[in-house]
Amino acid sequence: MKAFRFTLHTLLNVKYALEKRHKNDIANCMYRIAQLNAELDALRGAFEAAKGEYAEKVAEGLTPADMEVWSIGFRVHRERVKKQVSRIKRAEDELAALRKKLLEIMTERKSLELLREKQLEEYRMAVKAEEAAQTDEFLANRIHARAAAPAT
């Protein structure tokens, strides 16, 4: 009997490759989120430092024009923080979508692996049946040969 060959072997290999690619995409996305969070922390640190400097300047005395400059600077800082939070949110949404897609791929791969196991078991049963038939035929031929041989 010929060797076992899973009929959907190529599709299973494609699922393995897709799973690997999605795992890499998830790792890259997580790295990007970590970078974005580090940038956000830096922005918040700079904002806190600016607030401290502003408090010192206020204690020394600021003109209305200087206060307006500081106000604009704080507004710009807040906008930068909002934009960074928005980037992080988009990246986290992308990560969630990638994880969902990976779960689908893994489920499909697992189904194919179960199908392969089922086909392998059917193959093994067919091999056993063929071996049993060959054994029966051998024994039948041997018994027939002994019966046909002259007794001495």
Domains and CATH numbers, the chain: 9-114 (1.10.287.1490)
- Token pair, residue 63, equals 């003109």
Q: What is the pTM of this model?
A: 0.74
pLDDT 10s digits, 46-81: 999 999 998 988 888 888 898 899 999 999 999 999
d(CA 117, CA 4): 11
Q: Say if residue 15 is exposed, middle or buried (CB neighbours under 10 Å; 0-12, 13-18, 19+).
A: buried
pLDDT 10s digits, 110-127: 999 999 999 999 999 999
pLDDT of 151 reads 59
pLDDT 10s digits, 16-37: 999 999 999 999 999 999 999 9
